[in-house]
Amino acid sequence: MQDATPPPPADTPADPPPPAPSSDEQARAYESVHHRLLVARLLILMVVLALYSFSGASVDLATGLASYFGERWWWTNAAYLLISFLGYSALLFPLNWYSEHYIEHRYGLSRQDFNGWVKDHFKGLAIEAPLIVFFFSIIYALLHASPQSWWMWTALFYVFFVVLLSTVWPVWIMPLFHTFERLEPSPLTEAVEQFARRSGIEVLGVYKWGLEAKTSTANAALTGIGKTRRIILADTMLNHYSPAEIIAVLAHEVAHFKHGDLWRLMLMGSASAVAGFYVAHRLLHAWVGRLPGVDGVADIGGFPLFVFALFLFTLLVMPLSNAYSRRREYAADAYAVRATGSATDLTSALNKLAAQNLANKEPAPWIEFLLHSHPSIARRTAAAQRVAGTQQPTGH
């Protein structure tokens, strides 16, 4: 399911041209733009946190709100979080426009116009704002109730929150950005459903995922839990991939499900959440006294410090969780090769996906190690061919 992340909301003129074969050079240029943007985002976050904290603005806001709300500290916290989130989003607006709209157009990935992008952007903020406010309000309530063991309760809450979000996201949130239409029965849906059945997976229908109106990138996924489980196939894939290639991509998704990868990744996420909140706990207690005007760890005025601690931890853990995720991707590819009997369909689908999504097929190994949750297409293709080779000796 980690493959189900919708591509960044893209934008632009109607009349979609067919996906043009992209050059490797273009993919490398696109990749390096995104790396520079990532570095910019990290630097901006650090600078903003430092300024917010050391200028006294954070404490001033918290104190002002506290004098307005008085005893009702949870209102103070919620208002502080909402104002801070909206302020940060406003600050990032130009950068988001540049990375999600301008760059996507320049590389011919987006088909959304500016108005469409703005609409999606604000829709996204309207969904994120209450989630962020709720998430950190609960954490600060736990900090307030139990300054010494809050990190354990918070890790528990975090796991619950993530499971809930990943359940409702494809069903409630994704349809707000893209259309989902149940596909009429056809030889393709028949083959897809038959494949799922043979793999022992019960699905409630095959859906067309309407990406084409907004982007030229493609994706497919097996989403939802229990009664909401469905197969979604991007229209950008339906139009340009052979049924055998679609089945191979689906087999990869089915493998994630059969291997319990969602639960494995959640378990791993939970373990790192416990560690991360504990680190934040130690840092908060060690540093909070040095921040003038912050009255203890549960004072929302110290929020920038809290975010900094979490951010630092996440940055350190990311290569680890990425390495684990890449291993699960190789395992899913191997399953797909065995299930479809050869590496041919999977590798041709992977190459099409890379071309369509402008993925660099051979990123620098250290970049892949640090940043990528998926192995590069070149390595995945090679690994798939090795699996096929051990399965049936290649005879030409």
Binding site for Zn ion (CB under 5 A): 3, 329, 332
| Torsion angles phi and psi, residue 207, rounded to 5 | -120, 145
Closest to Zn ion by CB, 251 vs 305, is 251
Nearest approach in angstroms of CB 332 to Zn ion is 5
Closest to Zn ion by CB, 250 vs 297, is 250
Closest to Zn ion by CB, 215 vs 219, is 219
Smallest CA-to-CA distance from 9 within 113, 88, 94 is with 113
Helices 114-145 and 150-168, interaxial angle, to 10°? 150
Closest to Zn ion by CB, 20 vs 382, is 382
Nearest approach in angstroms of CB 25 to Zn ion is 26
Nearest approach in angstroms of CB 329 to Zn ion is 5
Nearest approach in angstroms of CB 256 to Zn ion is 5
Closest to Zn ion by CB, 34 vs 259, is 259
Nearest approach in angstroms of CB 381 to Zn ion is 14
Closest to Zn ion by CB, 3 vs 113, is 3
Rounded to the nearest angstrom, the gap between the alpha carbon of residue 80 and the centroid of all alpha carbons in its chain is 26
For residue 130, the number of C-alpha atoms closer than 13 Å in the C-beta half-sphere is 4
CA distance 265 to 6: 19
Nearest approach in angstroms of CB 254 to Zn ion is 11
Nearest approach in angstroms of CB 156 to Zn ion is 28
Residue 360, by phi and psi: left (phi above 0), alpha (psi -120 to 50) or beta? beta
Smallest CA-to-CA distance from 10 within 89, 91, 99 is with 99
> According to DSSP H, which parts of 110-260 are helical?
114-145, 150-168, 187-198, 235-238, 243-258
Closest to Zn ion by CB, 37 vs 201, is 201
Classify residue 33 by burial, with Cβ atoms within 10 Å: 0-12, 13-18, 19+. Answer: middle
Nearest approach in angstroms of CB 372 to Zn ion is 12
Q: Quick one: CA torsion of 44, 48, 49, 51, rounded to 10 degrees?
A: 140
* Token couple for 337: 């090769």
CA distance 76 to 108: 45
- Within 8 A by CB and 6+ apart from 171, the residues are 223, 224, 228
Q: Residue 224: beta bridge partners?
A: none
Nearest approach in angstroms of CB 277 to Zn ion is 28
- For the beta sheet containing 206-210, the strands, ordered from the edge strand earlier in sequence to the opposite edge, are 179-182, 206-210, 230-234, 220-223
Q: Which residue has the tokens 């004098």?
A: 67
Closest to Zn ion by CB, 111 vs 326, is 326
Residue at shortest CB range from Zn ion: 3
